[in-house]
Amino acid sequence: IAMTINKLIIKGDAISSGGGRNYLTVYKAGASFSDPSVVIEGIVNGMQLYSKPQGSSTTPNYLQVGGVSGSGSLNREAPATYGKANGVSYYILTNNSDATSTQSFFEKNGSIWTDQSGVMCYIMNGTANQTFTADTAFLHGGMKVVSGGMFVNFNQNAGNYTYNDSANNTVTFFTQNGGTTRAQFSHGDLEMGVAISGLTSAGAEAVFGSAAGDNTYGSFRFTNIVYASGTIKLRLNSATQMDTLDLTSYAKFNSSDSSWEDVAGGTLKFADGVAEGTQVKFDFGDNLAWLIGDDVESVKVISWDADKKTSLVAEDFTANLFEGEDGLSYMAEFTVGDDGLYVKYVVVPEPAEVACLIGFGALAFAALRRRRK
């Protein structure tokens, strides 16, 4: 189905039993987050929904969807001429009930998968959860979680991210050179609880994490993480079953001149205007006994390059407590390293110990002040 109209509103679900592609070329003058061109109040199910820009237009496209389930998917396709269109397709997810999509989602330019013809961005702004379980997520315009939960498969299949052009060059998100994976792909920025002009928060806590399941553990790549509020859920169930985030640099094949280019990594930072005392909040699950003990080493949960080391310090992070089988409570102890953020769990100090530590801290501060006079 191809439609070129000014605005589309579907009051219920958008369901297709036969699958297939459904292209939406919808441009409303003055469209915005508060007044999108497409509004589907219900669930997209069994339908491959595409935002398709017109010609060489760089105008953003705004599409609001009440959730995606089953084999439903939200995609972007540019015109077939390579490199012809740019801009952003914004999908605003307003789930009021949990939904899970098993279908891959992607950005596409004709028969070439590339990031040179515009991007797609998912924005979660609901009161429930949206989950994507597929191991192929061609999205590099970023994910913004304003309210509600967004969960994705962290175990992305590198083999699904390749495409050979007519000269047999592998030109896409995961690219290969001589049979060895050389380049990887960033999904853009992860923004947690960051206000978006023109978009009113649905009021639920912002949550981002990996989809449940034994085959969903992995390292999901973003360029930057920008934090204002909410919870980042990473399962730390064992050394071989854990979720991590990757912000490091990578190499990418440039199909225009058949060269390799280095793409800079990013960092973890607070959003502008965040209140003093804000902490980045994590939930690491409840299988944390393996991270307890004096001889246990911390594990890295976020990777970055040394030259992009976050300016945040250990006290800027917090996480869920863990109740051990020994009856003691354990808390997360963070370390900010040159190459990433590390965590392990330590016993929560008794009140008397805390008072003692505070006392020692006050004495040390007083002594430091005296030395500075």
21 pLDDT band, cuts 50/70/90, is: confident
At residue 77, the pLDDT reads 82
DSSP per residue, 209-226 = EEPSSTT--SEEE-S-EE
Longest C-alpha distance within the chain, in Å?
A: 78
In this predicted model, what pLDDT tens digit does every residue of 238-284 receive, in sequence order? 999 999 999 998 776 665 666 667 788 999 999 999 999 999 999 99
- CB-based contact 298:342 (threshold 8 Å): yes
| Amino acid at site 84 | K
For residue 303, give the nearest of 331, 266, 277 by alpha carbon: 266
321 pLDDT band, cuts 50/70/90, is: very high
At residue 41, the pLDDT reads 95
At residue 27, the pLDDT reads 67
At residue 250, the pLDDT reads 78
At residue 168, the pLDDT reads 44
* Locus of tokens 């999205």: 139
- Residue 179: pLDDT over 60: no
215 pLDDT band, cuts 50/70/90, is: very high
- Residue 328: pLDDT over 50: yes
Q: What is the mean pLDDT of the chain?
A: 83
For residue 20, give the nearest of 48, 50, 51, 52 by alpha carbon: 48
- CB-based contact 222:190 (threshold 8 Å): yes
In this predicted model, what pLDDT tens digit does every residue of 334-362 receive, in sequence order? 999 999 999 999 999 976 544 444 455 45
- Residue 164: pLDDT over 50: no
Between CA 55 and CA 64 the distance in angstroms is 22
- Highest mean pLDDT of the ranges 16-30, 103-117, 287-301, 345-359: 287-301
**Residue 282 is inside which H or E element, if any?**
strand 280-283
DSSP annotation of 107: E
Of 126-130, 167-171, 204-208, 329-333, the range with the lowest mean pLDDT is 167-171
Higher-confidence position of 17 and 130: 130
At residue 31, the pLDDT reads 86
In this predicted model, what pLDDT tens digit does every residue of 62-85 receive, in sequence order? 999 999 999 999 998 876 554 555
At residue 206, the pLDDT reads 98
Q: Is 263 helix (H, G, I), strand (E, B) or coil?
A: strand
175 pLDDT band, cuts 50/70/90, is: very low
- CB-based contact 45:73 (threshold 8 Å): no
At residue 259, the pLDDT reads 67
- CB-based contact 235:214 (threshold 8 Å): no
- CB-based contact 78:114 (threshold 8 Å): no
Q: What percent of the chain has pLDDT over 90?
A: 58
Distances from the Cα of 326 to the Cαs of 18, 287, 296, in angstroms?
55, 14, 17
Report, as an integer, the average pLDDT of 26-33: 79
In this predicted model, what pLDDT tens digit does every residue of 30-67 receive, in sequence order? 889 999 989 999 999 988 888 877 666 678 889 999 99
Between CA 218 and CA 125 the distance in angstroms is 25
- Residue 114: pLDDT over 90: no
For residue 268, give the nearest of 284, 299, 242, 246 by alpha carbon: 246
Of 76-90, 194-208, 237-251, 311-325, the range with the lowest mean pLDDT is 76-90
Name residue 199's beta-bridge partners: 196
Between CA 249 and CA 265 the distance in angstroms is 4
- Residue 176: pLDDT over 50: no
| Amino acid at site 32 | S
